[in-house]
Amino acid sequence: MDSQKDRKAAILAATLSSLWTDTEPAVRERVTAIALAEAEAISKVFYAILLDRPDSNTFLSHTLVQERLRPSLARWITALFTASTDTAIAAVLEQNYQVGLIHARINIPLTLVNAGMRIVKKELSARLLAADLSRAQTASAILFVGELLDTVLDNMHEAYLGDLLGNVRHQQSLKMFMSGPNLALEGERLKSSLFDWLRNTVVSFYAHEDSNHASPPAIESSDFGLWLNHKAELTFGRVTELDLIRDRTNRISAKVSAAVEGGWVTPAFVKELNNDVTEIAYILGTIIEKAMEIEGGRDPLTRLLTRRFMPAIFQREVAISLRHGKPFAVLLMDADHFKTINDTLGHQAGDSVLSDMAELLHTHVRAGDFVFRYGGEEFLILLTEMDEAALRVKADQLRRMVEEHRFHGAGNGLRVTASIGAALHEGHPDYEHTVRRADAALYEAKRQGRNRVVVA
C-alpha cells in the first residue's frame, strides 16, 4: 500500500472514528439495529431503482451481476454500520477502496455511483423517521447516516479517480505501443489481408455466377475488418484517415451486398472493388508512416503488450461485446515445466523460449486479437468476436502449435508444451471476472497433467 493512500486512509479513518465517538450511544445503537434489520430490503429497493435508469443497463442488466450484487450490498451495509472499532473501520475503508477500483475498471459513471449512495441514504433516513426516536435523536441519527455515507463515498471516489487517471496514462502509452516499429510489419500484413479478401470475394462471385445466392466473405469479418473494429483507434486515435478508411470499407460492403442481391458481377465491378481496396491500402500506409517514430511500454523481452494495458483494452472490448452481442474470449497460456528449463539450461535459454513463444502467438492470432505478456512464463490472449466452438478450436490450435515447434534458441530443437485455460465473456461488466475464470481453467489444465486446454 503506497504512503499517499495510507495518509488519506488515516484521515478518513479518523473522521469515521470521531463520528462514532461523537454520536450519542443510543442513537448509534438504533441506527445500527435498523441498518442490520433493513439491509436486505434496502438492497432490493436500490437495484429496483437503478435498473430503471437507462445509464445502468450496461452494468446491471446481467442476471449474474444482480444475483451477486444484491447480497453483496446487504453485507456492505451491515459491515459499514457495525464498524465502530479502529480495526473494523480500516477493513471497511479498504473494502470501499476496492469497490472504487472496480467501479473505475468497468467504467461505471460517477453520477450512477452517487445516485446509488443517495438511494441508500434516502431509504435509511425514511426508516429512521418512522422509528421510535425523539425529534432530536432522529435529527442526530440522520446526520450520522449522512456523514458516514458521505465519508465512504469520498473513499470510493479517491480510488475511482486515481485508477481513472492511471487508465488515461495507460491509454496514451498504449497508443504509443501500438504504433511502434512492428507497425510496419503489421501494416504489410493488413494490406495483404485486404487483397486476400478481394481475391476471395472475386473467386466467390465467379464460382457462383450462375446463382443468385453467392456468399462472398464479409469484409467486416476479414482479418483487416477485425483490426479496423478493435485495434485501429487504439493504434492511431481518432484521426480523419480512419474515418476515410471506415467510409471506404462501408462503401465496399454496400457494393458487394448490392451485387449479391442482383446476382451480377462484371469486370468493371471487379476493377471498382480493386480501386477501393487499393485506396484503403494507400490511406493505411500514410497513417503508418506518420506513426513509425512512436514507441513505448513494450515488454522488453517479448515485445508484447504488458499487463498495464489490460484495463484500457478490456474496457473497450467489454463495451463492444455488450453493444454488438459478440463475445470475446480470454486464453491464459503457461509454458509447462518452465522452471526446469531455467534450472537445467539457464535463464538465457528460458528467455529464448519465451521470446519464440511470443512470436508464435503473435503470428498465429488474427489482426483484431491482442497478446499480452501476463507474467513470468504466462501469456494472455484476448480473442475478439468468438463463440465457444471457435474458442475450443483456436485454443487447441495454439497448444498444438507450441507442442510441434522446435525451440532452437534454447538448445538443439528443444520441445516445450503449454497448458491453456480459456473462458468466453458471458456479459459481466467487469473483465476481471472472465480473466479469473480463465485462470481457474488454467489451474485445472495443470492439475489434469498439463499440455491440454480446459474451457471454463
User: What's the half-sphere exposure (Cβ side, CA atoms, 13 Å) at 170?
Assistant: 18
Alpha helices in 135-182 (DSSP H): 135-178
Tell me: pLDDT of 232 over 60. Answer: yes
Distance between CA atoms of residues 360 and 425, nearest Å:
24
pLDDT of residue 291: 66
pLDDT of residue 169: 47
Q: Is residue 416 a contact partner of residue 405, using CB atoms and an 8 Å limit?
A: yes
Mean pLDDT of 221-248: 86
pLDDT of residue 439: 96
pLDDT digits (tens, 9 = 90+) for 168-214: 445 545 554 554 546 677 788 888 888 889 888 888 877 655 555 45
The sheet with strand 329-335 has its strands ordered as: 305-306, 370-375, 378-383, 329-335, 418-424, 453-455
pLDDT of residue 114: 86
Dihedral sign computed on CA atoms, order 50, 52, 57, 62: positive
Q: What is the pTM of this model?
A: 0.56
pLDDT digits (tens, 9 = 90+) for 385-444: 999 999 999 999 999 999 999 887 666 678 999 999 999 998 888 899 999 999 999 999
pLDDT of residue 110: 78
Crossing angle of the two packed helices 135-178 and 25-50, in degrees rounded to 10:
50
Strands 418-424 and 329-335: antiparallel
Mean pLDDT of 122-126: 94
pLDDT-wise least confident of 109-113, 184-188, 244-248, 448-452: 184-188
Tell me: pLDDT of 447 over 90. Answer: yes
Q: How confident is the model at residue 125 (pLDDT cuts 50, 70, 90)?
A: very high
pLDDT of residue 149: 92
Q: Is residue 423 a contact partner of residue 450, using CB atoms and an 8 Å limit?
A: no
φ/ψ region of 22 (left if φ > 0, alpha if ψ in -120 to 50, else beta) reads alpha
H or E segment to which residue 306 belongs: strand 305-306
Mean pLDDT of 56-84: 81
Q: How confident is the model at residue 165 (pLDDT cuts 50, 70, 90)?
A: very low
Supply the mean pLDDT for the chain. 84
Mean pLDDT of 240-267: 86
Q: How confident is the model at residue 163 (pLDDT cuts 50, 70, 90)?
A: low
Q: Is residue 137 a contact partner of residue 26, using CB atoms and an 8 Å limit?
A: yes
Q: How confident is the model at residue 316 (pLDDT cuts 50, 70, 90)?
A: confident
Mean pLDDT of 160-169: 55
Tell me: pLDDT of 297 over 50. Answer: no
Tell me: pLDDT of 448 over 90. Answer: yes
Q: Give exposure, 409-426, as e/b (b: 16+ Cβ within 10 Å).
A: ebbeebebebbbbbbbbe
Crossing angle of the two packed helices 310-324 and 431-447, in degrees rounded to 10:
100
Q: Give exposure, 159-198, as e/b (b: 16+ Cβ within 10 Å).
A: bbebbbeebeebbebbbbbbbbeebeebbeebbebbeebb
pLDDT digits (tens, 9 = 90+) for 336-350: 999 898 888 887 888
DSSP string, 180-231: STTHHHHHHHHHHHHHHHHHHHHHHHHHTTT-S---PPPGGGSHHHHHHHHT
3-state secondary structure 259-296: HHHHCCCCHHHHHHHHHHHHHHHHHHHHHHHHHCCCCC
Give residue for cell 479513518.
Answer: 13
pLDDT of residue 176: 46
DSSP string, 365-431: S-TT-EEEEEETTEEEEEESS--HHHHHHHHHHHHHHHHH--BGGGSSSB---EEEEEEE--S-S-H
Tell me: pLDDT of 1 over 50. Answer: no
